Amino acid sequence: MGTELERLTPAPPEGDLLDSPRFPQAAKTELANHQQRTNLRHATTTIRNKRARVVGELSNWQDLRDAGEAIKTRVGRHLDEYLLQFEENFTKAGGHVHWARDAEEANRIVVALVKDTGQEEIVKVKSMVTQEIDMNEALEAEGIAAWETDLAELIVQLGHDRPSHIVVPALHRNRSEVREIFLKEMGRYGTPPPDDLDDQPKNLAGAARVHLREKFMRAKTSTSGANFAIAETGSLVVVESEGNGRMCLTLPDTLISVVGIEKILPTFDDLEVFLQLLPRSSTGERMNPYTSVWTGTTDGDGPKNVHVVLVDNGRTNVLADPEGRAALRCIRCSACLNICPVYERVGGHAYGSVYPGPIGAILNPQLRGTDSEIDRSLPFASSLCGACNEVCPVKIPISDLLVHERHKVVEAKKKDPPHIPHTAEPQIMAAAAWVMDDHRHLELAGKGSELGSRVLGGLLGWKKIGPLPPPLSRWTDARDVPMLPEQTFRDWWKQNRETKK
Amino acid sequence: MSAREVILARIRSSLTDVPVGVAPERDVPVAWKYAQAVDVGDVLGSFAQRVADYKATVVRCAASEVPDEIAKALTTLGVRSVVVPTGLEESWKDAVTKAGAHVVVDSEEHRLSHKELNDTGAVLTAAAVGAAQTGTIVLDHSADQGRRALSLVPDVHVCIVRADQVVSGVPEAVARLKASVQAGQPLTWISGPSATSDIELSRVEGVHGPRTLYVIIAE
């Protein structure tokens, strides 16, 4: 393991997220992880019940959602004006604004800014966009150690792991796993946990407090994301629970905030809508423990050098599709993940992105395009049950957009057939058309299945049909197909109903 | 072209379906009445209850009794040293000394180092706004609240909220705070002590911010 310590921070799992297997393959592996399924079911059930309770307290919840939807729609349709307004006001308040076309440019800006400070380490507030651009690895490559300070992100980082949820990234880990990670890794990168550390969440959080406090006390530079950027006042807003965010935002001399260009709110007043929608949708609390708002620099309070990096990285691609644009309204609350029956079973890693669940299934193919197998498969990673539409605080019509994205993938396949293997659907549909064409065909097919079932089920004792040869393998790869009934419905009807007349 | 120009150009070419020259507010109207009161019944009572729901300690008293309540809080919590911002009411500062604790003032002339803050037992501040529906206290970091690090690093935060600062909910709170933000002041919204639910969703109070929040409501 000597090579690991040549790095400054724990190495993440090998391989690029984009190289992840397409969803059905990944899902199969993840589904077999019983521990994860148990953790996920417990977690998502708990959060969605809490959410339902606190949302139920507000009689005007639907009006709030309408307001959230309208405000974010307005932002999308006038994004250039609002970004310029934000830039002007943030700069006027003593901050510096940088623009980044893509991940590489954003990382280059952040690395240069950190190098200007002469620091070789930074502390980080949990942020989705810094994960999206893989900022930690870009800093590591330049000899700068980036320390995650959110408890769940710390668990993920020390565990050489990847986040599996937008808000609770270590959702897939249980307390005994966390204890093992802390005992094994904490001491290698800073203050070790006490030798007698048990697996009580209180004591695990205590160990993290001591481990991270030392890093906070010496940190001179930090990075964050932002939940909102207010055009009217040039303010940034970070919503959190633990206070690690406040530590990073106030103690260091230099603060670099990396923010997606869609995070704008037009006015400070608009915060009243989103500070009601976000915590209730996200963690099921009336309000999260801490929210910080800052505008450039303030004399005698907080960092003296304040930067914001406005990142495109595919967001203008999303904007270019008037229908798909709705996905940019997302405020990363993860309510759609917590309600999704598919996410609940496969977890976040199968989505091959930092944005898992229903929102990831529509956002990733739009942000990244559909060149990779994983991005082509994501719009199909849903049963279209529509539960996500109901909980989305900004009313993103997720299932409509899934269908819209499926259509785009299919269209792209037609245009670029050599690279994409034929799918099974046309052949299956042709077979189905023959069966449905004539009732005698249907009866024949029924007899066939009856016979098949007797033979297979009887001889082999199967309860389910396993993998079938192509083209049907395309379906059975991603589904457990129940064994065919031993009697067709038509035969059952003849026996039980027609004779009784 | 700079990245800025490229991104702005990309945005404009993506928005060909949006009519040019129409003000955003007219293009997409928002049917929402801002800054409205929300119905919480007894505002102060709800505020006290909701703050307590987060496992903070809440005491209600007459304004004149605040110094005594501060002394009581510090004694109960066993605090030996307390950092105070310069603008804090004198009688409140005096209460700290009366309770037998050491007063440490964070001033423009003497900014406490991170270590000094970390070694202090508690912080005593005023507040800017309280929101009843969510049990939220907002600091706008005026002189009686001090800079942001003060209410963050010490392990105990004793916070005094005046009854006339408490509003029904977040909309009224945002309206009251607007002037502070326009003046360039930062804000810290606090709803209970620092907390995490990152391990099996078990709520644990206190990770990095104060583990104990003690709120005195002065009526």
Q: What is the pLDDT of residue A2?
A: 46
Q: What is the pTM of this model?
A: 0.90
Question: In sequence order, what are the beta bridge partners of B58?
Answer: B215
Q: Is B116 helix (H, G, I), strand (E, B) or coil?
A: helix
Q: Is A202 exposed, middle or buried (0-12, 13-18, 19+ CB in 10 A)?
A: middle
Q: Residues A435-475: pLDDT tens digits? A: 777 777 777 776 766 666 666 655 666 666 666 777 677 66
- Per CB-CB distance under 8 Å, the chain A contacts of B190 are 289-290
Q: Which residues contact A187 (CB under 8 A, 6 or more apart)?
A: A193
Inspect the interface and report whether the beta carbons of B32 and A273 lie closer than 8 Å. Answer: yes
**Distance separating alpha carbons of residues B63 and A288, to the nearest angstrom:** 29
Strands of the B156-162 sheet, one edge to the other: B57-61, B212-218, B156-162, B122-125, B81-85, B102-106
Q: What is the pLDDT of residue A458?
A: 58
Neighbours of A451 (CB within 10 A): 12
Nearest one of A373, A310, A393, A441 to A66, comparing CA atoms? A393
Q: Which of residues 219-278 of A touch B (CB under 8 A)?
A: 233, 235, 241-244, 246-247, 249-251, 261, 266, 268-269, 271-273, 275-276
Higher pLDDT, A161 or A433: A161
- Which residue among B34, B135, B193 sits closest to A272, beta carbon to beta carbon? B34
Q: Residues B91-148: pLDDT tens digits? A: 999 999 999 999 999 999 999 999 999 999 999 999 999 999 999 999 999 999 999 9
Both tokens assigned to B207: 């990770």
> Is it the case that residue B188 has pLDDT exceeding 60?
yes
Lowest mean pLDDT among A353-367, A412-426, B197-211: A412-426
Nearest one of A308, A280, A305 to A109, comparing CA atoms? A308
Inspect the interface and report whether the beta carbons of B175 and A67 lie closer than 8 Å. Answer: no
Mutation choice for A interface testing from B16, B27, B32, B125 by most A CBs within 10 A: B32
Average pLDDT value over all residues in chain A: 91
**DSSP letter string over B41-54?**
SSHHHHHHHHHHHT
User: What ipTM goes with this model?
Assistant: 0.98
